[in-house]
Structure 1
Amino acid sequence: MTTPSKSPAENFRPANKRGAARLAAVQALYQMDVAGTGLLETTAEYEAFRLGKEIDGDLYREADAQWFRAILSGVIENQTFIDPVIRQSLTEDWPLSRLDSTLRAILRAGVYELSKRSDVPVPVVVSEYIDIAKAFYGEEEEPKLVNAVLDRVARRMRGEGKGKDPS
């Protein structure tokens, strides 16, 4: 007799404060994209009501607020650089506009860290955003797409990555 397998959520590593900040930044980027809220308003809302707070009975993990702000503002300030980088890493039949808002937010945050935060090792950035993708999508195709795109970006930006360079 086999034991039931764990759900994908049960297989995740617990997030540290930076990991929680990354997740919150992705959620905030999603909110900004969908609701059209601004950077200052969204940052203030998350810091006052979400980071480390209880919402509808769920306790949000304590997050590194400075890291959260850095990712959020970094993505917004560099979006005209980040979006073309993502586009170059997608296949021609998958334009950035075809990706849902959550996936765009994950990729934008990951590309920001890879391009502007050389103090964070590539494997950390890639694995953190794959974990975030798994939290939203489970074991579907999206985490694999996040892995592929961030790996391509890492190879181009930092000369690091696991995949082979396209010839």
Structure 2
Amino acid sequence: MKPRPRTLARVAAVQALYQAEQAELNAETVIDQFVRHRLGALPGAETIEDGKLPEADVPLFARLVRTATLQQETIDGMIANALPEAWPMSRLDPVLRASLRAGGAELWLNDAAPAKVVINEFLDVAHGFFSGDEPRMLNGVLDRLAHLLRPAEFPAA
């Protein structure tokens, strides 16, 4: 199957947001590290299994990481409100937290892909990281965020 640049950008954004949180790096530092060491190499030279995403859509990747970081307080608040009360943000797996932030960031962008596409894409990404219930939680939380951030895409029934 041919790699999809926008999907790979979403995978890279999740990885970068995870790395930024774990290493306490700012968005520009982690974007620079990813662009120099993991993205933008010659397509086909290395693969996702090698930790490389050469075909990733770099502008989308950078935009997701920047938006997730710049709007983190607001996006985190929306995520926290969408989570069950027994699941505070701090209890979430850090990769799930990064996935929710990246998905929330793309939903934040008014000129991004349609909300249902964003949710499906991040659901696919989550299945690459998790084999348990995490993708279902991500799906539910991103659906709630999509209804809040893009109500026009969800006409009343």
Q: Normalising to structure 1: TM-score of the pair?
A: 0.81
Q: Does residue 1:72 correspond to 2:60, yes or no?
A: no
CA RMSD of aligned residues (A): 2.3
Rounded Cα–Cα distance in structure 1 between residues aligned with 2:53 and 2:108: 28
| 1:116 corresponds to 2:109 | yes
Match in the other structure for 2:15 = 27
Q: Trace 1:1-167 onto structure 2 (pairs within 5 A).
A: 15-53=3-41, 54=46, 58=50, 59-138=52-131, 140-159=132-151, 160=153
Could you tell me how far apart the structure 2 residues matched to 1:56 and 1:17 are? 12
> CA separation of 1:70/1:57 partners in 2, compared to 1, >3 Å: closer, same or farther?
closer
Q: Which runs of 5+ in 1 are unaligned?
A: 1-12
CA offsets 1:50-71 (integer angstroms, 9 cap, x no match): 0144389725341111111100
Task: Give 1:65's aligned amino acid.
Answer: V
Give, in whole Å, the separation in 2 of the partners of 1:108 and 1:23: 12
The letter for the 2-side match of 1:91 is: P
Q: Between Structure 1 and Structure 2, whose CA radius of gyration is higher?
A: 1
The equivalent of 1:7 in structure 2 is none
Per the alignment, in what secondary structure is the counterpart of residue 148 of structure 1?
helix
Aligned-residue offset at 1:73: 0.5
Q: TM-score, normalised by structure 2?
A: 0.86
What per-residue deviation string (whole Å, max 9, x for no partner) do you get for residues 78-136 of structure 1? 01110000011001111111101100000011111112234320111000110111000
Tell me, which stretches of 5 or more residues in structure 2 are unaligned?
A: none
Q: Distance in 2 between matches of 1:80 and 1:120?
A: 23
Query: Percent identical across equivalent pairs?
Result: 39
